[in-house]
Amino acid sequence: MNITTIILFAVLGTLGGLVNVFMWAESWEDLRKFGTFKTVVLGSVIGFIYFFLYSDNNFPNGVMAFVSGYMGKDFIQAVIEKFKKK
């Protein structure tokens, strides 16, 4: 386990979270909200967790860490809403 690989996956998750924020922000004021911070932090945490699930440092896993950071907040919200309905 290499610390630089762990940091790389966390940074890729963070970049995914940032892309999500920039894609869905309607104005500059949206970038200053707490939801923006939450999305970016969740992206980095999800990238960190993805490293431990798939610890090979190769191109597909790096892309998936980015995608996981991008889609992580939406996935977590969907799971929470599904369990709230019961």
Confidence tier at 14 by pLDDT (50, 70, 90): very high
Q: What is the pTM of this model?
A: 0.84
Map tokens 């992206």 to a residue. 43
Sign of CA dihedral 36, 38, 41, 46: negative
Q: How far apart are CA 63 and CA 37, in angstroms?
A: 22
- Domain ranges (residues) in the chain: 3-84
pLDDT single digits (tens) 67-86? 999 999 888 888 888 888 76
In terms of Cβ atoms closer than 10 Å to its own Cβ (0-12, 13-18, 19+), residue 8 is: middle
User: Residue 48: what pLDDT?
Assistant: 92
CA atoms within 13 A on the CB side of 30: 10
